[in-house]
Amino acid sequence: MTTSANDALRARIEEIGIIPSIRVRSAEDAGFAAETVARAGIPIVEVTMTVPNCQEIIADLSRRMPDLIVGAGTIFDMKTAHACIKAGAQFVTSPGLDAKIVEFARSEGVVAIPGALTPTEVTGAWQAGADFIKIFPCAQVGGPAYINALRGPFPEVRFVAAGGVNQQTAAEFIAAGAAAIGVGAELIPNKAVQHRDAHWITELARRFLSNVQDARKR
């Protein structure tokens, strides 16, 4: 991927504004979740490393759904990062910061979204070249007010608010300055996946999209 293509992908992720995190039990569950949120208007998913055969799932989704932005989540080491990117991951995320993973992802033309919490960690992630910085767990340390506080000293940083984000707070995080939100079970409930209830997930996606769009209009 060229630098311009990487910039375009980063802009597209920010435009969508929601990064659904898939934490399910099987490849079939992951496929259903990804296809459902994409059809509902959120063409991006993060497949976490807690999902069995996650790298095969990333490869399958990337092949079958070329318009879907497929990423890898919960990356803790270089070996896993390399395997996921080889499988087709277009972005990688981590709960914390490993500068080597950020630098490697960037060298491969992949969007890097490391996790951070304190101003010191945000500084380290920014200096490492992160495309976005995921503030995790966000809701537990002040929620939207914390994002707003970080925006002061870090006006150039694209923050992703993750951890405890729900329908009630999604708009508040965007209004506080988050470039995007990371959402898991609040958007893709386990029961909805188990019962193949596409309508449930679609309705939740519609609400999250509406909240994000409304907050940006304000």
pLDDT digits (tens, 9 = 90+) for 190-204: 999 999 999 999 999
Picking from 2, 76, 5, 70, the residue whose alpha carbon sits closest to that of residue 31 is: 70
Question: Which of the four pLDDT bands, split at 50, 70 and 90, describes residue 6?
Answer: confident
Q: Average pLDDT, stretch 206-214?
A: 97
14-32 pLDDT per residue, tens: 999 999 999 999 999 999 9
Note the pLDDT of residue 4: 67
H or E element that contains 31: helix 27-39
Supply the residues annotated as catalytic.
46, 134
Report the share of the chain in percent with pLDDT over 70: 98
Level-2 CATH architecture, domain 3-213: Alpha-Beta Barrel (3.20)
- Split at pLDDT 50, 70, 90, the class of 138 is very high
What confidence score (pLDDT) does residue 2 get?
Answer: 53
DSSP-derived 3-state class of residue 190: helix
CB-based contact 57:84 (threshold 8 Å)? no
pLDDT tens digits, 69-96: 999 999 999 999 999 999 999 999 999 9
Find all residues with CB under 8 Å of 209, minimum gap 6, and list them.
18, 40, 41, 42
Tell me the whole-structure pTM to 2 decimals.
Answer: 0.96
pLDDT at 3: 67
Contact 163, 170 (CB under 8 A): no
Please tell me the distance from the alpha carbon of residue 177 to that of residue 155, in angstroms, as a whole number.
9
> Does residue 148 carry a pLDDT above 80?
yes
Give the residue extent of every domain in the chain: 3-213
